[in-house]
Amino acid sequence: MSLETIILAAGQGTRMRSSLPKVLHKLAHRSLLEHVVALAESLSPDHITVIYGHGGELVPNTLAHLPVRWAEQREQLGTGHAVMQVADAIGDGATVLILYGDVPLLSKATVEALLPLVGPTSLGLLTMRLDNPYGYGRIVRDANDKVIRIVEEKDAFGSERAIHEVNTGILALPGGRLKQWLGRLENRNAQGEYYLTDVIALAVADGVEVRTVHPASEDEVLGVNDRVQLAHLERVYQLSQAETLLRAGVSLRDPARFDLRGEILALGRDVEIDVNVIMEGHIRLGDGVKIGPNVVIRNADIGAEVEILANCVIEDAVVGAGCRIGPYARLRPEACLAEDVHIGNFVEVKKAAIARGSKVNHLSYIGDAEVGSGVNVGAGTITCNYDGVNKHRTVIGDGAFIGSNSALVAPVTVGPNATIGAGTVLTRDAPADQLTVTRPRQTSIEGWKRPVKITQSSR
């Protein structure tokens, strides 16, 4: 049986107090809707259809990369009305899964437990039990414990409000039946809307059994209606990520102060991560990596036994085994360090390859450069790679020594084992095995006196 997934994402989210449509707000650096689409993709459906509304074309334009079909709900007349927008595209023999664009933490395991409940004479409904069911639609059962209908909070009275089993809105249905029920929905309720939940009563009237399953956690099915709920789910998500890493053997100094906003594609043994570390994009960590506090790593490949000290930022970079980075260092895109390279405090590397065993330890900028092995770059060294219009490359040969406070004005080449004297402004290639220096001769002036401050009495 084919699977059609429909994601309802047309809500405005007025309680977010934002001009941004609710489903575009981010959790762990991805929009809420992207989380839901990722879940849907993992189920290998025939189609994923996203129904959008508030924000107009902003949602499909922003997320145009998603492998989905887009359908607009121009009038906001309820969840049933939203699904009506794509009824003609639903296959009669398909199973239809209904998801919500503001429910980002639903697990694949829960959905995989829901889908088998669907058959020619049955549908699957995800429910949960809450101590405080306020705000949720209640699941009404008969004397035989069979689900007979769902009553919304605003339409519930008396004993119905005392029911603790509530509707999550997530359900799976046979496609042909769903199309029939959509055509019979009415809007005679407190909101004047077409509720998708009314499909349950119609199904029961047609002799279709409503089978239920519960999620493993309440947090799985919590929607985001305001920024408080968004912040709550962010922490739930991050603690789950941290727990996964802990079980994989990572030492986290404080799981509550760690954010993984992407994916760790490869993870070595005995990795240690201190507090307030943020990881984004795609990360690879080798054996024995040690990461200090307040470090940001984005799209990086970190080799074995690398030590990253406090307050470093590493983005789109490759760090070879045995390197030592920081503190307060920045590796910008296309920085590539070979084994045993040292990058020290307040050093920035951009679009540069640094070969094995080289050191740039203090207050330097290395950009658009190729640095050989065994090179020592002194404090305050700058590769002057930008002429105001174009970028130019600097090449430093193996074993070179760059004195402190030097400026290498690209394009320029420093030969192997060359020495550049401190304070040099290098504008031409420096030959191998020689000292090159451009500073003027030192002069001392005899009899020179420092100026004396003029006071009021001396005037």
Give the H or E element holding residue 235.
helix 227-247
Give yes or no for a contact between 274 and 292, defined as CB atoms under 8 angstroms apart. yes
Two tokens, residue 296: 């940001």
> How many angstroms separate the CA atoms of 450 and 357, rounded?
46
Task: Round to whole Å and give the CA distance between 242 and 195.
Answer: 38
In sequence order, what are the residues at sequence separation of 6 or more whose Cβ sits closer than 8 angstroms to the Cβ of residue 290? 271, 272, 306, 307, 308
Dist. CA 417–CA 400, nearest whole Å: 4
In angstroms, how far apart are the furthest CA atoms of the chain? Answer: 111
- Rounded Cα gap, residues 10 and 51, in angstroms: 6
190 CB burial (10 A radius; 0-12, 13-18, 19+): exposed
At 82 the three-state DSSP class reads: helix
Q: Report which of 257, 232, 195 is spatially closest to residue 104, judged by C-alpha positions.
A: 232
Out of 29, 214, 232, 362, the active site residue is 362
In order, the DSSP letters of 45-78 are: -SEEEEEEBTBTTHHHHHTTTSS-EEEE--S---
* 362 assigned to active site: yes
Q: CA–CA distance from 417 to each of 57, 373, 403, 411, 457 (Å)? A: 60, 10, 13, 19, 61
Residues with a catalytic annotation lie at: 362
